[in-house]
């Protein structure tokens, strides 16, 4: 399901910041809006 995919979507940005599931969720909400 979607939750499983988000759990695997921990991405390290060029700044070295690790995107957590919450961060990805916020980005998806901003894109929808």
Convert the pLDDT of each residue in 1-33 to its tens digit: 566 665 555 555 566 666 677 777 887 888 776
Q: Which domain holds residue 6?
A: 2-32
Structural domain count of the chain: 1
Q: What is the reported pLDDT for 25?
A: 80
Tell me the C-alpha distance between 9 and 24, whole Å.
8
CB atoms within 10 A of CB 21: 14
Token pair for residue 9?
A: 């979507």
Q: What is the reported pLDDT for 30?
A: 82
Tell me the C-alpha distance between 2 and 14, whole Å.
25
pTM comes to 0.32
Q: How many residues does the chain have?
A: 33
Q: What is the reported pLDDT for 4?
A: 65
Tell me the C-alpha distance between 9 and 33, whole Å.
21
């Amino acid at each position: 399901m979607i939750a499983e995919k988000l759990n695997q979507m921990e991405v390290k940005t060029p700044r070295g910041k690790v995107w957590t599931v919450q961060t990805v969720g916020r980005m998806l909400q901003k894109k929808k809006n």
